[in-house]
Amino acid sequence: MSYSDVARDGKELRPYSSPPQDGNDKATREVQQQLFGLSTQVTQLRRDVDRLGTAQDTVKLRQKIAEANQNTTSSAKSIGQRLNTLHAEQKTQQTGRLVSSFEATLKDLQTTLKVAKSKEAASLPKEAKQTAVPAALDLESGVNSDEHQALMQQQQQQQERLVLESRLQYNDALIDERDEGIQDIQRNIQDIQEMFQDMAVLVHDQGLQIDDIDANVSTYELRTEQAGHEIVKADTYQRAARNRKCILLTIVIIVVVVLVLVIAQ
């Protein structure tokens, strides 16, 4: 055991350690970064939603929007949980500003998802370019023109039927995928609405906390003003007391001088 570990009375001392850093500032910065990332995601999602119903509206675009929809909503839920925890640990104006910023981003996300839901329900994505239909096989030589014409018509009708069936299947798949995407959007809109309610509770609580702070500040200012008045009154009283003492001392000196003069005569 080293000398620094032993006190002068022989008792062992614990080594000094600096106080742990406040993790609230770090948590606040992390939430700020997450909010910035969420805002960036919402901006990109809005740009993609603006392309719905245009010539750029494709299956690939809708898949991208569906993925972004899930990612942004998941990020928003994570931030909401972090804000709840942060608010429970520290009810400060900084936390209130984070809640307000989060609410604004949530509102933007909710509006974007509502537009996406409306646009996806109004139309289907553009079809991919159809592959060329194989040309009719060369007919065997020796077939007369009437038979050739009949075979050509039969083959064309068969190809048209196949193309029609393919388009119907394709459209059915698009409709199913669209409906599923709309349901996902609706669920996420409801989740966002619940997050709004949670944030409303935090805002209300934050408002009460700020009111308490303002009330405490006002009380402190009032007490400070009252204390100032008391100090002024005390100072005035002390000055008056000193003046009275000076007057009494002067009177005593005069009396003593008079007595001395009388005795001397």
For residue 61, give the CATH number of its domain.
1.20.58.70
| Residues in the chain, pLDDT under 50 | 1-21, 130-141, 210, 213
User: What digits encode the pLDDT tens for the residues 35-58?
Assistant: 999 999 999 999 999 999 999 999
Do 35 and 96 lie in one domain? The reply is: yes
pTM for the whole thing?
A: 0.59
Instruction: Collapse the DSSP code of 12 into the 3-class scheme (helix H, G, I; strand E, B; otherwise coil) and give the result.
Output: strand
Would you say residue 37 lies in a domain?
yes
Do 116 and 184 lie in one domain? The reply is: yes
Would you say residue 14 lies in a domain?
no
User: What digits encode the pLDDT tens for the residues 59-73?
Assistant: 999 999 999 999 999
* Interior angle at CA 152, CA 148 and CA 158, nearest 5: 145
Would you say residue 129 lies in a domain?
no
Residue 229 structural domain: 221-265
Would you say residue 166 lies in a domain?
no
C-alpha distances in Å from residue 222, one per residue of 156, 216, 218? 96, 10, 6
Do 85 and 117 lie in one domain? The reply is: yes
Residue 112: per-residue pLDDT: 93
Do 116 and 241 lie in one domain? The reply is: no
Would you say residue 148 lies in a domain?
no
Would you say residue 43 lies in a domain?
yes
Residue 153: per-residue pLDDT: 78
Cβ of 151: how many Cβ atoms within 10 Å? 14
Would you say residue 152 lies in a domain?
no
Would you say residue 150 lies in a domain?
no
Helix axis angle for 93-122 and 23-50, nearest 10°, is: 20
Do 196 and 229 lie in one domain? The reply is: no
| Residue 9 token pair | 């009375």
* Total domains, the chain: 2
Do 186 and 225 lie in one domain? The reply is: no
Do 229 and 184 lie in one domain? The reply is: no
| Residue 248 token pair | 């009494």
Check: CB of residue 78 under 8 Å from CB of residue 59.
Answer: no
